[in-house]
Structure 1
Amino acid sequence: MENRNCLHNFINYLDDEDVYDALEKYWIDMFFMLLHKENIYGNDWICPYYNTTFGNGKKMMDGNPIFSAKSIKKDEIIRIIQESPKNGNVFSYWINSSMGNNQSQKELVIVCTLNNYNLEKINDIIISWIKGNLKDTNYK
């Protein structure tokens, strides 16, 4: 994973497909390094989980989601929606719950701009979610 000080390299991610690809990789690497640091088995996760391409194979490149993962064992999903830094410092999260096919599925949704301060919060939230310690409430 790249150093956190390189976040400025992703500023034009909405306009440059190579930068967008690098940003997606950054989030995936960050997630699996976080799992490794917490001694959590990474093979339980499908990543990316959501399809972010059109039928013709072109990337949607809207940051929704920039990252997604699903736990096979717990049937829980993490989705990160990245906002442009032009929108200021954005950070919120909530838990979506749905019932389908006689199953209950939960999804942690995080909406943020990418900066070091938000990354610290995101790491804490993801680990709390995976360990089952995150309250089923909204944070804005």
Structure 2
Amino acid sequence: MENSNKLHYFVHYLDDEDVYSALEKYWIDMFFMLLHKENIDGSDWICPYYNTTFSNGKKMMDGNPIFSAKSTKKNKIIRIIQESSENADLLSYWMNSTMDNRSKNELVIVCTLHNNNLEKIKEIIISWIKGNLKDTK
């Protein structure tokens, strides 16, 4: 279980670039620690996968995505869109087809960062990587 005090630090991520950057790092660290815990090789994952900066290098800072990764071996993409904590305990997910691939190779998770969502998000990610996740659409 995550420390709620640590998560509280991220409350103003949309207003502070340093906090936003720390939150991006938090998601990346969580993802790779999760892969390690599940004995999944993370060496083929490109992270971040999607560009989240403007041409001048400034961060978009809209939380879409706050995290993205792509496995070059499995051609699977994960995108996490984080909503403001004011939206309570929001958590939904679906599989998308990307423009370069007609199969549903992208997992999209929309969530708020709350302790009770994190374990569910981790389960969704691992199920997706292992090919056991059912589409909700």
Do the two structures share a fold, i.e. TM-score over 0.5?
yes
Mapped to 1, the partners of 2:79 and 2:59 lie a distance apart of: 17
SS in 2 for 1:95: strand
Q: CA deviation at 1:104?
A: 4.0
The residue that corresponds to 1:123 in the other structure is 122
Q: Which runs of 4+ in 1 moved over 6 A?
A: none
SS in 1 for 2:43: helix
Mapped to 2, the partners of 1:87 and 1:137 lie a distance apart of: 20
Q: Identify unmatched segments of 5+ residues in structure 1.
A: none
CA RMSD of aligned residues (A): 1.5
Mapped to 1, the partners of 2:100 and 2:7 lie a distance apart of: 38
Q: State the percentage of identical aligned residues.
A: 77
The residue that corresponds to 2:85 in the other structure is 85
The residue that corresponds to 2:76 in the other structure is 76
> 1:35-54 counterparts in 2 under 5 A?
35-54=35-54
Q: CA deviation at 1:89?
A: 1.9
Mapped to 1, the partners of 2:124 and 2:15 lie a distance apart of: 29
The residue that corresponds to 2:9 in the other structure is 9
The residue that corresponds to 2:60 in the other structure is 60
Q: Identify unmatched segments of 5+ residues in structure 2.
A: none
Q: CA deviation at 1:118?
A: 0.5
Q: Is the 8 A contact 1:45 1:69 kept in 2?
A: yes
TM-score (norm 1): 0.91
Q: Is the 8 A contact 1:53 1:59 kept in 2?
A: yes
Show CA shifts across 1:73-125 (max 9, x none). Answer: 01110000000011222110000024637x74610000000011110100000
Distance 1:18 1:98, change over 3 A: closer
